[in-house]
Amino acid sequence: MDSLSQVVLGAITFALVKDKEIGKKSLVYGAVLGTIPDLDVLLNPFFDSVEQLAIHRAFSHSIFFSIILSLLAAKILSKKYNSSYISWVWACFVALFTHPLLDICTTYGTRILYPLTKSYYSLNNVFVVDLGFTLPLLIATIALWIMKNKNPKRSKIINISLILSTGYLVWGLVVREIVYYKFETVLQEKNIAYEKMNVAPTPFNTFLWQAIIKTKEGFYLSDYCIFDKEMNTHFYFEKSENQLLPELEKRPELEPFFNFAQGYGLVKKEGDLIKIYVTKFGPMTTDKKGPKFAFPMCIKPDGSYYALQNPPKNYDEILNKLWIRVQGK
């Protein structure tokens, strides 16, 4: 998830264990630990776009990394404060491991069991930036920083913020299951045979959801808002040149890309180029001509590849359409 969310989550979870002992300092330690897993992005300049996928959210986001670093950090902190080593291990672990646990909730996913498996795990119940989750933790962090260490209300603030933020994630899970079932029902009524379906939240909210349905011929795409008066039964269809996938998936240098795509690669043949779009996030926008995807992996006739950086230029229009659609219009 975004850096701010990880910082305040780390701060509050560490404070949950250590606030009574060290007060405001627990926020600092927790914020630092909550940030550490994402420092793998500092290696990006040394690798190409596919190699970056192999590195990001890999070992630094695995449970084994959290365990190892917790043991080491706790050794230092327990000596500094001359208190129970086990309690410091627990404080460090919750601040570290809640980072990948939160990332699992996003569509991006994370490799929490790396290196045992390179598979991404994702619950798809929250977008990578969502103030519904972040605000309670941010407000609590600011309040704790302002309040005196001996204020008896500190524990209550910590607990309430964690209940609210966790409750928001649970809300996302429940809504996703309801929306998933609705799309399943529509697909059965339309007799659409499909291989797999991903239902994911649209940016910044848990009201509007999009469905990405994979078939042998391509992908069906649709959306549903919980404020819609009736279920949306209109689907866009994007044909995919799936017959090209078997050979491409055999190339070891492209393995990180296909692992990341999680089976949601849309293949387009455009001139001499083969373009593969990761559709699991849904389209950037949709117009009369259909859905528009961004950032494809482009493969040249000679086998070389590169990631095409083509961000949309009409962000204002995209956000305006999103805002209207979130209202069920």
Cα–Cα separations (whole angstroms), residue 286 to 179, 185, 206, 289? 20, 23, 19, 8
pLDDT digits (tens, 9 = 90+) for 75-106: 999 999 999 999 999 999 999 999 999 999 99
Question: pTM of the predicted model, to two decimals?
Answer: 0.94
Residue 128: predicted pLDDT: 96
Torsion of CA 186, 191, 197, 198, to 10 degrees: -30
Nearest Cα neighbor of 209 from 195, 226, 188, 192 is 226
User: 51 and 257 in contact (C-beta within 8 Å)?
Assistant: no
State the DSSP code for 237.
E
Domain residue ranges of the chain, discontinuous segments joined by + = 3-172, 193-326
Burial (0-12, 13-18, 19+ Cβ within 10 Å), 292: middle
Local mean pLDDT, 10-residue blocks, the chain (329 residues): 98 98 98 98 92 94 98 98 98 99 97 97 97 99 98 98 99 98 96 97 96 96 95 92 93 94 94 93 77 85 86 84 94
